[in-house]
Amino acid sequence: MLEDIGFVDVQIGPAADTFGGATGEEKARAFEVYGYAFLARNPG
């Protein structure tokens, strides 16, 4: 979607176990939900 909207140089960081140990962990594990950092540039 980022590239469809016109962003370029898209990068995605490693997965973070955002919900591990939280009460939402079971649901997160069921769908392999993790947190990620994204970086993208608005073309000049």
Write out the residues near other proteins by the rule CB under 8 A.
1-2, 4-7, 11, 13, 16-24, 27, 30-44
- The C-alpha angle with vertex 12 and arms to 42 and 6, in degrees rounded to 5, equals 25
Structure token pair of residue 40? 């993208």
Q: How far is the CB of 44 from other proteins (least distance, A)?
A: 4
Structure token pair of residue 20? 């591990």
Q: How far is the CB of 29 from other proteins (least distance, A)?
A: 10
Q: How far is the CB of 7 from other proteins (least distance, A)?
A: 6
Local structure of residue 10 (DSSP, 8 states)? E
